Every structure is written in C-alpha cells, then in structure tokens.
Structure 1
C-alpha cells in the first residue's frame, strides 16, 4: 500500500522537532573539527565568523529545507517532484547523500564506541600510545566490524521504535545528557592550572588571523555541521505541524549547534594547552588523529582516576553526538524509501538496514582486506572516497541546485507563504536576497575550495 501524507509520522511538538534538528546538527564535526579550526584560525575571530555565518547563510538554508519539507509533507525526492517530475533529480541527488554517509559514519561511530568502552576496560595508558592502539583496532579484521555492528544496532533499535516512540525519546535523553557532560568537562578543564591561558588563546579574537582561508574554513564547517543538503531537514520538516513557527525553531537549532561547538573547544583547547604547553597542539591536526591520538595523550597526562573518568565521559559525550546524527541519517533514508517506493515503514526500514550494513562492511574492508585500494592517492581509504564524494562534491551541488530551484523556479514567495502560516516572517526580504544571490555564491565557494583542497590546489 502506498505511503500517504496522512500516514506519516509526526513530532509531538515544536521542541521535539528542535531537539531532533539539533541532535542531527550536533555530530562528530562539532567535536573534532571545530576546536581544531578555532585553534588554527585565531580563536575568537573564527568563532565570531562562524556565528555570523550560522545565523545568515546557515539559517537561510535550514529554513528553506524545513519549509520545503513541511509544505509538501514529503522527504527529498517527493518534495521536489511535487513541483514537477523534471525536478525530481534534485531530490534523488539529495537522497543519495545520507545513503553514502550513513555506512561510513557508522564505522567512525564504532571507533567512538570502542574508545568509550576502552577507557573502562583497558585504561587511559593503553589508549595514549601515539596511535598504535587506534591503528591496530581499525585494521583488525574482527574488532572494527564488531564495534561498527554494536553502533549500528543501537541506531537501528531507536529508529525501529518510530519517530515519537524512538527518536524523540532518545533525543530527549541524549541531548540534555550531552550538554550536561560538555559543561561539566569544560568546567573541570577550566579549573586546571594554566587553563585560563588556553581559554584566552581560544576565545579572544585575533584580527590578524582573519583571512580567506578562515572564511572558507568557517563556511565549510557551518555547512557540514548543520546537516544541510542531505535531505534530513526536509524529512524532519515534513513531520512538523503547520501551526509551529519555523523561524524561531530554526534559530534554536543554530544556537544548539553553535553552543555545542564552542563547548567542545572549551573542553579540548585549554586541556591541550595545559598538557602540551600551547594551543598549537590542537591546530596541528584535525579529524580522527585529534580525537583518537592527541586527546588520549591529553587525558593520560592528567593522571590517575581523573584520566579514566574524564576520558570515559568525553567519549561517551562524543558517542551520544554520533548516535543522534546517525539516527537522523537512518530516519531520512527510511523516509526516502517510504515516499519514493510507496513501501510501508517496516519494509523501507528493512531495506535501509540491508544497504547500510552491506555498504558499511565494504567500506570497513578498506582498512584491512582492501587496504591496497587507495582511491584518492597514497594513504587514502575507501572511507575517504565516500566522504569526499558526499561532503565535498554532492552536498554543495545539491545546495546550489536547491537555491536555484527555490530562488528562481518556484520563487521564494512559495516558501515564504509556508513560513507565514504560523506567524509573520519579518526577515523575508533579506531571506529572499540570501536564497537568490548570496547563498549560491557561497555554496560555489565551498564546492571549489573543498574539491580544490582535495587535489592540492588550495590549502586551508
């Protein structure tokens, strides 16, 4: 039987949607990339730039996608197709993104799950060996698959319980817990001798550090962090009641993302400053190396039970962030198949599980049996290729097509009318200019910069 709008899941209220949107936005990028970029690009200067971008460019695209989903009551493919079959290809491209990201995100989620457990089972000393523990784990033909499977099972169980019964309840627990742990760890870090020097390094603006590279770094971080151009916010918007105000909801999601990102920096930068003598320790590396090699050294330097407790709590916090993002990715995949194929939720969910597991196993083989496959050059992995295709290529292209579609084809007024169903839209003039002119240019900058960086043309 075909899925219809009447059969769709729905949020229990506005705050359920805000928490879900925030949970999707708050992910691994907040934890391991934002602190590195802030440390590299002048601390407060980067944070201020990021703040401006979140509440201009970021909020514009968040509102656009959410309004499009709510207006049509459908996920990405159906939402674009509703305005004409010839536009369905934009939805198809957007829908491909979560199917590409979810498997490799689950692999990294498995790494975080392993480290969370390892602080209790192995102790901090075992994890702070300069990368040996991490390398032996991810290249293991058994362990890396086991922890990936554990992470996937948790995500599948939550999504399998439905939108209100599973996703809402999980977010209601994990998001407050994440905030509390982040605040707690940050406060503890700030009490360490010498930590205030790290805080000054992190928070005080250094205008001399402002550069095109800083702007592109902040632009890319904001774009990828807010779960834009991957169908998630269109799907989540389709579950939202029309009486709920979209403008304030989107602003709250942006505030959550910014707040957690800044807190992540407060946890990491001062601690690295104390342990290693300077914030440059954070700026020296990003991504997995910061999370799984540098930070365990920082925690180990704290010594005793503190190292164990703080390390465990930090990785538990990161695990919650990874889970909430993975849940939103899987839910989006389920909704896409329901709308696109007219399948029941149960059948669509079974297909998503099969695709994610098979793709996850294949990508994970890139670290052991298929490690000879280095698609992006020496030292790269299959995971790197999937990440490059989805993040650096497809997402900016989808965002650009979406802006052109709304700005020049169906016209901004179509979605302005949807936003104004629940109240006045005071910034509709500015929003229209952003959608039609500014956002497309910024998205093209992201696309050119990140593809260029992959092939060594640019460096930032």
Structure 2
C-alpha cells in the first residue's frame, strides 16, 4: 500500500511538473500567442458592424479610450495573476484566497461552454474559404446560400469536425511546440493579409443604378468621421456599452485564457511591454478590419449595407466580393483565409485553457487530456452544428433576442458569466487582495509600471461599476 501511495504521489507530482514545465520561449512568443487569442472572428465582423452602427469615428474614440483604461485593467489583472500563481484559472483564485475558489470554477466553465460552438463558427468560415478556393464564389453570393448550408444535416458537421480536429492537434503538441509555433506564423500573415485587403478596399469605385459614384476613400471617411446626429444621453450610453462589450470579448479576459497564458510566461518577461503590445496588436487589427470591410460594403451597398449585423460576413460580404468581378474571388480567398487564422488562434486558446485546467484537476498529462477533450468536443461541435437542422428549436432569451443551441451557449457564456466573473474579480483584486497584488507582479523585475495609478483607480472604483452595468444590460435587467 505504501509503495502504491508513493507511486501515486510521484505520478501526481510529475503531472503537475509537466504542466508547469510548459512555457512560451520568450516575450515575442507570448505576445503573439496572446494576441492570437485576442484577435478573433469578432474583430473581423463585429467591430466593423458596431463602428458603422454606433457613429463611426465616435465609436472609435470611445473604444480607444476604453482600450487604454478598462481593457488594460482586466488584461493586466489576468496575465499578472497567471504568472504570479503559476496556475490556471481554476486553481489561481484558490491560491489567492481559498474562499474564492468558486470564482475559479466559474471562470473555468466559460471556455468549457464557448468550446462547444467556436469550432462550428470556424467550420462555417472554412466552408466559405473552400468555396472561394474552388472557384464557386458566385454561389456564395446567392440569396439563401448561407441558410441552406447551416441547415444541412451533413456539411456544417463535417467542417466543424475538421476545424475542431486541427485545433486539438495543435494543442496536443504543447505550448511552445504547438501554440507558439502556429502563432508565430499565423499572426504576422494575418496582419499582412488585413493590410493588403484594407489597401485594396480603398481603391474601389462603383457606380450604382442611379448613377452615383461611390469610392473606397469615401467609405473610409464614413468610417472615421464621428457621426453626432441624433446623439442623446441614452444613445451615448448604448454606444459606450457596445464598445465595452466588444473590448471585453475581444481581449479574451475573464474566461481564464489570459490567466492560463500568463502562467506560461517566464519570470524575466516584461509584462508591461507585453500588455502594451497585445493591446496594440488587437486594437490595430480591429481598426484595420473596419478599414477593410466598411469601405468595401459602402462602395457596393451604401450605408444600407452596414446594417447587416452578424450576417455581414456570410451574407453581405460575399455579395460585395461578387460585385467586384474577377478580383472579388481573389479578395474573398484572402479574407476567409484571414478569418480562418483569426478564428483558429482564438479556438486554440480556448481549448488550451480547458486543457490546462483539466491537467490540474485530474493530474493528467497533456496528450491524454487533449485526446479525451477532443472526443468530447468533436461530439459537442456536431450537436451544436445540427442545432440549425435536426436539433432546431427557438428560445426567448432574457435580453429579448430569440436563439437556439449556439445562441444559448453564446448568451450564457458571453452575456451572463463573463461580465459577472469580471465584476467579482475586480472586487477580489481591488478590495480583498488590494491592487498591490497585481502591481507587485508587474514590477517584479524592477520595471516601471507607468499606469500604476490608473490601475488602482480602475480596478477599485471604475471597473466594478462598469462591469455591473454591463452585466445588468447584457442580461436584460437594465433595459
């Protein structure tokens, strides 16, 4: 019996050491991986849509202010907690305060839910990339194409499983050998593709049926100009909440991902520079996405095309690409390949967060853990993909929208749990642990934490109030 217990304890220690041995090679590897997590599909369609809907340049100004204050605070907290505790979310909060273990459990559940549908969205994007690569771009522009695809009982499942399989394979190969290696290639390529498409969009010209000529430069001006018409206090509050929710989801905060990635950061890395670089990369891609999409939509659809909302990527943009003529197919290929990179790097980070937590909970090795999770999420992805066909049903959500399986998972994780977790974490850090817990980690190697005073004010007073308002608004309590 003693021999068995000893071997068991050795095995447990080995598994924990295996997890802790995982790390990014350095600051560049960490920044690219973290930026890859932050730069997701939301940057490519949700940000441009909100910018067009919420006053163009006015939304951009609000968003930039929030990046430097609100986003900086939550991102700094997650990364610093991860490196200081060397634990993933489910253990990190317990390490900080045993009575707050429940917060780690809640945080762990967010990526668990998100992972059920993220590969499904990745599968949709992969399908469209395949359509453009095989020269069938005209079909993608037809009315009802997207609906017929997602309601098929076979095709969306196949593409979801393919995307999930690739994600699992990368995570299976570890932090440095899988996640960092992929991010080092994908993120620079993604940035180049976004810049190329944005540059091309500015050269577009199109004369509509009434003889009016619209240009990409006019679309860029529409995007950057603050539109103050009809602005009221309630309207500005809505713009503020939209910008805050976009930033909140974009930076991958309050879902355990940045805590997990932070736990892989070596002690000699300057977290101040790393946070700044992640902010710049994520915000830069979002701004470029707007310069890439809004001028193109404006040229061929005018301001009416801006109201497409979530269908912008899969309905409106294919029509825009088709209207470009022969060049449209090439631009479409570049766009959907870019979207695949953005979605894949985010999907990797979600699965890695789950994997790291499960390794700590069950004291299991990476490869075994990933294989088990892969089986679970291959099944989950198939079920969610069939939510538009075999398992279709509609539910009235508390925020007033109507949804089915994918929408329910997205609503619970993004609109309910993430704002609630962020609210609790600001209370824990700001009032229970005090801000010095994070500040000390940011100054670990003698670096100057330039935004230290701002961090103290934000984490204790501003962020909790903002998160409470966002939670109440997202859940429909605050109409």
Taking structure 1 as the reference length, what is the TM-score of the superposition? 0.95
Instruction: Show structure 2 runs of 5+ residues with no match.
Output: 1-10, 206-214
Paired position in structure 1 for 2:24: 11
Paired position in structure 2 for 1:298: 320
2:161 and 2:381 in contact (8 A); partners too: no
Deviations along 1:19-75, one digit per CA (max 9) or x if unpaired, are 111100000110111001111112111111111101111011101010000001010
Paired position in structure 1 for 2:277: 252
2:69 and 2:454 in contact (8 A); partners too: no
**C-alpha distance in 1 between matches for 2:369 and 2:102:** 20
**Does the C-alpha gap of structure 1 residues 153 and 303 become closer, same or farther in structure 2, counting only changes over 3 Å?**
same
Deviation of the 1:364 alpha carbon: 1.9
2:46 and 2:309 in contact (8 A); partners too: yes
Paired position in structure 2 for 1:123: 136
2:172 and 2:370 in contact (8 A); partners too: yes
Paired position in structure 2 for 1:226: 251
The reply on whether 1:156 has 2:168 as its aligned counterpart is yes
**C-alpha distance in 2 between matches for 1:443 and 1:179:** 31
2:38 to 25, 28, 40: 25
Deviation of the 1:98 alpha carbon: 0.4
**C-alpha distance in 2 between matches for 1:378 and 1:393:** 14
Alignment length (residue pairs):
450
Paired position in structure 2 for 1:358: 379
Higher mean alpha-carbon deviation, 353-362 vs 174-183, is at 353-362
Higher mean alpha-carbon deviation, 56-65 vs 117-126, is at 117-126
Deviations along 1:125-176, one digit per CA (max 9) or x if unpaired, are 101112x111111111111100001111111111111111111111111101
Paired position in structure 2 for 1:267: 292
Paired position in structure 1 for 2:363: 342
The reply on whether 1:427 has 2:451 as its aligned counterpart is yes
Deviation of the 1:279 alpha carbon: 2.9
Paired position in structure 2 for 1:61: 74
2:157 to 145, 164, 175: 145
2:135 and 2:329 in contact (8 A); partners too: no
**C-alpha distance in 2 between matches for 1:372 and 1:254:** 39
Equivalence map 1:308-323=2 (5 Å): 308-323=329-344
Taking structure 2 as the reference length, what is the TM-score of the superposition? 0.91
Paired position in structure 1 for 2:428: 405
Deviations along 1:190-214, one digit per CA (max 9) or x if unpaired, are 1112111101000122344571111
**C-alpha distance in 1 between matches for 2:34 and 2:201:** 29
The reply on whether 1:286 has 2:309 as its aligned counterpart is yes
Q: Which structure has the greater CA radius of gyration?
A: 2
Paired position in structure 2 for 1:441: 465
**C-alpha distance in 2 between matches for 1:367 and 1:218:** 29
Deviations along 1:396-431, one digit per CA (max 9) or x if unpaired, are 111111111111111111221111112122322221
2:171 and 2:178 in contact (8 A); partners too: yes
Deviation of the 1:373 alpha carbon: 4.8
Equivalence map 1:80-229=2 (5 Å): 80-130=93-143, 132-193=144-205, 194-208=215-229, 209=231, 211-229=236-254
1:371 and 1:381 in contact (8 A); partners too: yes
Instruction: Show structure 1 runs of 5+ residues with no match.
Output: none
